[in-house]
Amino acid sequence: MRFVPNILSTLRLLLAIAFPFVAPVWWIWLVVVSGCTDFLDGWIARRWQVASWQGGLLDAVADKTFVLVVLLSMAAAGKFSFWFIPLILARDLTVAFAAAYAALLRLWHAFRDMDARWSGKLATAGQFLLFTVVLLMPQQTAMALGLVVAASGVAALDYGRLFVKALQERARQRPR
C-alpha cells in the first residue's frame, strides 16, 4: 500500500509524456485524470502515513512536468501566447532557482526542509483550473490566466520568503 502514492505520481508523468501526442479532443480527460492523481497521491500518503521526502519529490517532479508539457502544448496549439508561460510558472521558477542556489551553497537541507505551502497548493490547483477553462470555456481564458498568474505570484513570494528565512536561520546557527 505504501507505493500507491508513487504509482499515482508516476502515472501523472506518463500522462505528461503522452499529452502532446494525444488528439486535443482528449486533452480534457488527461487533465482531469492528472488532477485526480495529484490530489489522491498526497491525500493517500498522508492518510496512510506513507509520506516520504522521495515521494514528495516525485510528486513535485510529476506536477511540474505535467504542467509544463500542457502549457507548451496548449500554447503551440494557439490556446494562449507563449509569453504567459513564465508568468504562470513564477512559483515553479522561484523554487527552481532556490533549489539551484541551495545546491551551489551546499545548503540543500534548507530547500529540502520546506514543507508544501497553501500558496503552492493554490497555484497548482489554479493551473489545473486554467487547463480546464482553456479547454471547456475558452472565452474565459483571459480571466483564468489573470487569476493563475496572481496565484503563482503570491506563491513565488511566499516560497521565496520562506527560503530566505531558512537561509537566515542557517546563518545564525553557523559557528563564527
Measured CA distances, 108 to 112, 140, 168, 169, 170 (Å): 6, 41, 14, 14, 11
User: What confidence tier does 53 reach under pLDDT thresholds 50, 70, 90?
Assistant: confident
pLDDT on residue 109: 66
Residues 34, 36: Cα–Cα separation, whole Å: 5
pLDDT at 174 over 80: no
pLDDT 10s digits, 114-168:
677 889 889 999 999 999 999 999 999 999 999 999 998 898 899 888 888 877 8
Residues 160, 137: Cα–Cα separation, whole Å: 33
Question: What one-character DSSP code corresponds to residue 22?
Answer: S
- Say which residue, 72 or 103, is predicted with more confidence: 72
Mean pLDDT of 64-69: 94
Q: What angle do CA 158, 95, 91 make, to 5 degrees?
A: 60
User: What confidence tier does 95 reach under pLDDT thresholds 50, 70, 90?
Assistant: confident
Give the DSSP per-residue string, 69-128.
HHHHHHHHTTSS-TTHHHHHTHHHHHHHHHHHHHHHTT-HHHHHTPPP-HHHHHHHHHHH
pLDDT 10s digits, 71-81:
999 999 999 89
Closest CA to 132 of 30, 2, 22: 30
User: How many of the other CB atoms lie within 10 Å of CB of 115?
Assistant: 7
User: What confidence tier does 112 reach under pLDDT thresholds 50, 70, 90?
Assistant: low
CA count, 13 A, side-chain hemisphere, 14: 8
- pTM, entire model: 0.86
Closest CA to 105 of 55, 153, 167: 167
pLDDT at 176 over 90: no
